[in-house]
Amino acid sequence: MTNLVQLKLYSTVGNLPFHDFQVNTTALGKIVAEKFRQQPELPGVIITKGTKMWGMISQVRFLEYMKLPENKELYSRQPISELLDFLGTPPLVLSENFQINAAVLTALNRPKNYVYEPIIIVLSNGNLRLIDLHDLLLAQSELLVKAYKMIQDRTEKYQSEIPELFSQDEDNDDEVTGLLLESKSLIDQIKNKLKK
């Protein structure tokens, strides 16, 4: 995971760790299963046809479906595109410039059965990557801690300046009162002239 300490309040999803696991629609299910076995941290697989994204299958859905022996036997030898019909979810696709807080809100506003699915990020060069929702939520929590600390620091700073403001006013209190009294008599003179 990227060092969250380096995140700024307006960091984008492009600043987060992402995964690059893509296969063509013709890749066999057993290739995907083997990759997931070797790299359990992968949130899913992006399925492409030529240069276009065809869909995405999360590792959780894939492994859940392949638990049944008959599915494992059948789909290990089938192209991954066959599984897309059963396991593919409408992918959430975001630009790498999407702010982290906005990305969290967008992800959590998906239908409940898709909320925890990985998110596809489109990099500036057009390449596709996956971000795990867990990493996105960790990043947002780090940003909230930073925002809270900033508010706390500023509040303490302003509270320490309040007594200084009042101590300055006490020195000029007589002068200010005198100016106000002079202004009152001028205002009264103007009122009298306007009445005539």
Work out the angle between the directed axes of helices 80-87 and 59-66 (0-180°, nearest 10).
100
pLDDT in tens, 120-170: 999 999 999 999 999 999 999 999 999 889 888 888 877 776 666 555 555
Based on its alpha-carbon atoms, the radius of gyration of the chain, rounded to whole angstroms, reads 31
Which amino acid would we find at residue 183?
Answer: S
- For 96-192, where are the E strands, in sequence order? 119-122, 128-131
Q: Which pTM was predicted?
A: 0.74
Write out the DSSP string of 107-121: HHTS-GGGTTS-EEE
Count of beta carbons in the 10 Å neighbourhood of residue 48? 17
Residue 68 pLDDT = 83
pLDDT in tens, 40-61: 999 999 999 988 999 999 999 9
Torsion of Cα atoms, 7 then 13 then 15 then 16, to 10°: 90
Q: How far apart are CA 118 and CA 153, in angstroms?
A: 35
Q: How far apart are CA 67 and CA 81, in angstroms?
A: 19
Helix (H, G, I), strand (E, B) or coil at 19: strand
Per-chain mean pLDDT for the chain: 85
Q: How far apart are CA 144 and CA 148, in angstroms?
A: 6
Which amino acid would we find at residue 57?
Answer: I
Structural domains of the chain, with CATH: 4-141 (3.10.580.10)
Residue with tokens 């506003």: 109
